[in-house]
Amino acid sequence: MKCKYCGIDIENPEIFKIHEDNCLEHQKLNGIKKETKLEDMNVQELRNLAKEKSIEGYSNLKRDELINAIKAVE
């Protein structure tokens, strides 16, 4: 799996999750903002983002619906 924040590849899912959380926190603390286009994200990444943005019913939305819902709250 590839970290969406720094691009490093990590095979172990548990380590990957910890790394990605830490990487995001590091970027927030240091004012680094690497934007990923919603259209380039997969469904799971979109669902995670929708969850972070407290979008209700995100788990039942299709990819295009997720993109539209996220854009609506930004």
pLDDT of residue 56: 94
Give yes or no: residues 24 and 42 share one domain: no
Q: Is the pTM of this model over 0.85?
A: no
DSSP one-letter string for the chain: -B-TTT--B---HHHHHHHHHHHHHHHHHTT------GGGS-HHHHHHHHHHTT-TTGGG--HHHHHHHHHHH-
Give yes or no: residues 24 and 43 share one domain: no
Q: Containing domain of residue 7, as a range? A: 1-34
Q: Is the pLDDT of residue 13 over 60?
A: yes
Give yes or no: residues 27 and 48 share one domain: no
Give yes or no: residues 1 and 30 share one domain: yes
pLDDT of residue 31: 61
Give the confidence band of 33 by pLDDT, cuts at 50, 70, 90.
low
Give yes or no: residues 22 and 5 share one domain: yes
Q: Is the pLDDT of residue 20 over 80?
A: yes
pLDDT of residue 28: 73
pLDDT digits (tens, 9 = 90+) for 34-66: 566 888 888 998 898 899 889 999 999 999 999
